[in-house]
Structure 1
Amino acid sequence: MKQTSSNTALMVYAIRPRIQAEKKAVFGSEHFLKSLALFERLQENTKRIVSESGLEAIWIFDDLQEGKTFGERYAKAFSDLFQQGYDQIISVGNDIPGLEASHILEAQTQLQNSQTILGPAEDGGNYLIALSKSSFEEETFFQLPWNSNKLHQAIKSLFQANEGSVFQLEYLIDIDDFDSLTRFKADLKSGDFFRFISHLLRSILAYIQEEKNFLWEVIPTKDNPLRAPPALLP
């Protein structure tokens, strides 16, 4: 495996778009394909960003990792890369719409002064975790409260206790549900991703209106008490 001259790996620890769409159902289970389109777009956006960073990107998919829990699998990914000879690892996910190459490059720069860099997400998790080999301990790492709103504070406290200093990037929004998507859209003014989200939302609103019109046609009202109930329609 080719390594960069700085001996820093950029690990994209990804959950496949289909699995993301099934678990998060941003637009509800009846709009699965819309959720799938969203996470596929986020993954394509991540590919562009890591390419722009200029660092070697190593993609690791969670469903192919060994381990019973997310924490075990994620910790094993770090451990495997450190064993391959990397001294520093910058890890990002594939569902952060506000992530930019500048966040990754800032983490790379700050790793020269600190052993731990954290990019906190507004839901209490982290969109970026950058570690030095000397600060990593696999068993302690996988026992952190992963997939909870307590993760950022827990990992920050752990590495502050061990090293005394943790560099923190700006907060970003992690897309977990419809509310987080609309909050992110509210921060946008224009651009391809803004137009993509707007198109998704408009198509869903059109579907809801069409469904509403259908119900008005088949459900009897006071003005039309003789209309057959839906169960009796051919």
Structure 2
Amino acid sequence: MTTSAASQGIPATLLVIAKAPIAGFAKTRLTPDFSPREAAQIAAAALLDTLRAVRHSGVRHRMVAWTGDLTRAELSDELSTALGEFDLIPQRGTTFGQRLANAHADASRLGLPVLQIGMDTPQAGPALLAVSATLLLECGDTVLGPASDGGWWALGLTDPRPARTLAEVPMSTDRTGELTREALSRCGCRIRRLPILTDVDTAADALAVAEEHRGHFSRTVEQLRHHAPA
């Protein structure tokens, strides 16, 4: 693919962990404020903005670890076109932590540092991703982006081996970020901190991020919000 063949840009791999935005499968915590289909539409918009930010970040290699049936996804045509510019790999593992660890291991086979993000922070634009990848290269070790709910939105490693510890960290808790930092520190990682961002998990998160971010995500949230029943 052209992304793998690219010879210019920041010498790193930007890895997106993504799931098909299908009603009842993605962003279920946005209900009941939004219907299951509306929640999936918001997830699709967040993913499209994330993929666009990665494409324009200047990072050399772009990869998506994917799960779910793309043909059943909201905005499937737009997503298929956007994903065509990425190296696509399947997620592997039973738990979310295992899938994160395995995706990082798969991405590291390109031989470059890996910056891993999710599809829940559409406000992480190209400039922030470029700065984060550059900081990873400059520090030569580890970067971690905390999330305001206690989790994390980005993890960058120059040595892929500590990523194995993600399989043992409880995910989706208010201590996930803290426990991830502790686990990485036990592996000898020297961690540089990235800015704190809000993960879009709840309706309140979606409204807050839509206020600070201009893009497909904010337009979708505003449209659905105005059409929601009183």
- TM-score, with length taken from structure 2: 0.77
1:182 lines up with 2:207 in the alignment:
yes
- Contact 2:49–2:216 (CA under 8 A) maintained in structure 1: no
- Counterpart in the other structure of 1:58: 63
Counterparts of 1:137-156 in structure 2 under 5 Å? 137-156=162-181
- Contact 2:144–2:154 (CA under 8 A) maintained in structure 1: yes
- Corresponding residue SS for 1:18: coil
- Counterpart in the other structure of 1:24: 28
- Corresponding residue SS for 1:17: coil
Distance in 2 of aligned mates of 1:31 and 1:106 = 36
CA 1:20–1:106: 2 relative to 1, 3 Å = farther
- Counterpart in the other structure of 2:13: 9
Q: Which has the higher helix share?
A: 1
- Counterpart in the other structure of 1:127: 153
Per-residue displacement from partner, 1:120-148 (whole Å, max 9, x unpaired)?
11111111111112x62354231112222
CA 1:79–1:26: 2 relative to 1, 3 Å = same
Which protein has greater RCO, CA pairs closer than 8 Å, 6+ apart? 2
CA 1:177–1:3: 2 relative to 1, 3 Å = same
1:49 lines up with 2:53 in the alignment:
yes
Per-residue displacement from partner, 1:145-185 (whole Å, max 9, x unpaired)?
22222111112223334446311111111111112112323
- Corresponding residue SS for 1:155: helix
1:68 lines up with 2:73 in the alignment:
no
- Counterpart in the other structure of 2:224: 200
- Contact 2:162–2:187 (CA under 8 A) maintained in structure 1: no
- Contact 1:125–1:151 (CA under 8 A) maintained in structure 2: yes
Percent identity of the aligned residues?
Answer: 21
- Corresponding residue SS for 2:116: strand
Distance in 2 of aligned mates of 1:71 and 1:49 = 24
- Corresponding residue SS for 1:142: helix
Give structure 2 stretches of 5+ with no counterpart.
Answer: 69-89
Distance in 2 of aligned mates of 1:130 and 1:75 = 12
CA 1:20–1:44: 2 relative to 1, 3 Å = farther
- Contact 2:63–2:107 (CA under 8 A) maintained in structure 1: no
Query: How many corresponding residue pairs?
Result: 203
Deviation of 1:194 (Å): 3.7
Give structure 1 stretches of 5+ with no counterpart.
Answer: 210-234
Amino acid paired to 1:128: A
Distance in 2 of aligned mates of 1:192 and 1:138 = 32
CA 1:98–1:136: 2 relative to 1, 3 Å = same
CA 1:79–1:3: 2 relative to 1, 3 Å = farther
Amino acid paired to 2:32: G
Distance in 1 of aligned mates of 2:104 and 2:216 = 33
Distance in 1 of aligned mates of 2:65 and 2:216 = 27
- Contact 2:66–2:91 (CA under 8 A) maintained in structure 1: yes
Deviation of 1:193 (Å): 4.5
- Counterpart in the other structure of 1:98: 123
- TM-score, with length taken from structure 1: 0.76
- Contact 2:18–2:119 (CA under 8 A) maintained in structure 1: yes
Deviation of 1:45 (Å): 0.5
Per-residue displacement from partner, 1:94-120 (whole Å, max 9, x unpaired)?
121221112211122212214111111
